[in-house]
Amino acid sequence: MSSAFAAGSVATRYRSTRDPSSSVSFSQALLQGLAPDGGLYVPSSWPRADVEALESETTLARLAARLITDFVAGDPIAPQLPEITAEAFNFDAPLVPLDTDGRLAVLELFHGPTAAFKDFGARFLAANFARLRTVNSPPGSRPLTILVATSGDTGGAVAAAFHGRPGIEVGVLFPKGLVSPTQERQLTCWGGNVKSFAVHGTFDDCQRLVKQAFVDPQLREQTQLSSANSINLGRLLPQAVYYASSSLEVWRKYGERASYVIPSGNLGNAAACIWARKVGLPIGEVVLAHNVNRTVTDFLHTGEWRPRPSIATLASAMDVGNPSNMERLRALFPELADLRTAVTAETVDDAAIRNRIRQGFERYGQIWCPHTATAAEVYERVVAGKRPGRWIVVSTAHPAKFSEIVEPLIGRKVSVPGTLAKLFARPTEFTEIAPDLSSLRAALSVGRP
């Protein structure tokens, strides 16, 4: 696969957000998940995309291979990138117009096996890990354990992508009682090499446990740990692909940059869009749509970074009080003024989410999950009639995953995709644990010699 980046680009290494002097390969960054110093991996240098070369690709899989190729150049996994993207990107991300003049569209990212945008990154990671495990793991080596904290959709996508993969175990941590019933079923219906843990706490507790596990000597002696959260850069690169695809579609049709309103929690999806813009994709403004967990909104308004306990909302996958990927955004934009230029953010409460679900159905015939409705509300509030251009509302999950919220608001049943129906038929199993590292250690050790 030829490169879509400017001639003369070199293989990209990855450094920690906390230590610019560190440097690892793409495969090392994927397998480690989190840098040894607790930072997140980011490119040491940025290639520059050749937009004309990318425009020649007509499928997501081929576009993904061409876009990502320079990020893996020189890495052992590089020759396998085309087959990895063919395996991961085998479903669409359609751009659905909402008006007749192409000023507003919805980017549907829920056509994968677990009906959420997390499928893109999870499947890309699983395809990489399966190949890296084969190459780097001699017989009798420690198992590779993927730890993932989830506020709803990530865990299901990761479980689906890694289920049945030999030599790989998965531990899914979710906040007990703080995900939708449909999401909980997706998180707990796997068995086999997937263990599900209902944590007595919030998503932030789950995320804290995962980060603690990575630096815990006892766990690291027992197993090789990696992550499939958006702290892993292998989640962000494939997510940048659908921003490349949709922005190029707008560019081809109208010769204008696409601007996005993105439902935001842990900021991985937003960071992926900003990375795509960083390498030269025709992307304009980026507006972050948050629920009442307003850590990011307040930071951009006041300049004071104050993580806080998360608050439960209808848009549960965005209930994040200490979003990890702000560390990547601040590494890219160290000056607050530059970050404020790069993104803006708005906060939406549950009453406005409910109203926007109703309005979306009445006005457009669209059925939106609470996260998509959050983004649509921000569009109506701060963009419509105020900011010109071509705007895309990012739709992150199928409404059937939130039927108990959506159906009473629109007065009709939400059809269930076949992939979700299959999952609903599976038995569920999970272990409840306290929000402390010793409980996680014990739970992960069950069943091991």
pLDDT per residue as tens digits for the range 229-287: 788 999 999 999 999 999 999 999 999 999 999 999 999 999 999 999 999 999 999 99
Query: Pick the residue with more confidence: 354 or 156?
Result: 354
| Residue 122 confidence (pLDDT) above 70 | yes
pLDDT digits (tens, 9 = 90+) for 289-325: 999 999 999 999 999 999 998 899 999 889 999 999 9
pLDDT at 221: 82
Cβ contact 37:19 at 8 Å: yes
Of 252 and 9, more confident: 252
Task: Average the pLDDT over 53-71 and give the result.
Answer: 94
Predicted confidence (pLDDT) at residue 223 exceeds the cutoff of 90: no
User: What does the pLDDT read at residue 8?
Assistant: 42
Residue 349, CA atoms < 13 Å, CB-side half-sphere: 1
Looking at residue 362, what is its pLDDT?
97
pLDDT exceeds cutoff 80 at 63? yes
Is the separation of the CB atoms in 144 and 135 below 8 Å? no
At 373-432, the pLDDT tens digits run 999 999 999 998 889 999 999 999 999 999 999 999 999 999 999 888 887 788 899 999
For the chain, domains (ranges, CATH) are 95-115+234-416 (3.40.50.1100)
Residue 367: the pLDDT is: 98
d(CA 202, CA 208): 10
Predicted confidence at residue 4, as pLDDT, reads 55
pLDDT of residue 407: 97
| Residue 7, pLDDT above cutoff 50 | no
Lowest mean pLDDT among 97-101, 143-147, 264-268, 279-283: 143-147
pLDDT digits (tens, 9 = 90+) for 232-248: 999 999 999 999 999 99
Residue 442: pLDDT over 70: yes
Taking alpha carbons only, the member of 262, 261, 258 closest to residue 244 is 258
Distance from the Cα of residue 368 to its chain's centroid: 18
- Tell me phi and psi for residue 162, to 5 degrees: -100, -10
pLDDT for 9: 47
Tens of pLDDT, residues 11-23:
679 999 999 888 9
Please give the average per-residue pLDDT across 49-58, as a whole number: 91
Mean pLDDT of 125-149: 77
CA distance 399 to 292: 20
- State residue 343's pLDDT score: 98
- Is residue 150 pLDDT above 70, yes or no? yes
Taking only the tens place, the pLDDT of each residue in 170-222 is: 999 999 998 888 888 889 999 999 999 999 999 889 989 998 998 888 888 88
Q: What percent of the chain has pLDDT over 90?
A: 71
Q: What is the mean pLDDT of residues 143-149?
A: 87
What value does the mean pLDDT of the chain take? 91
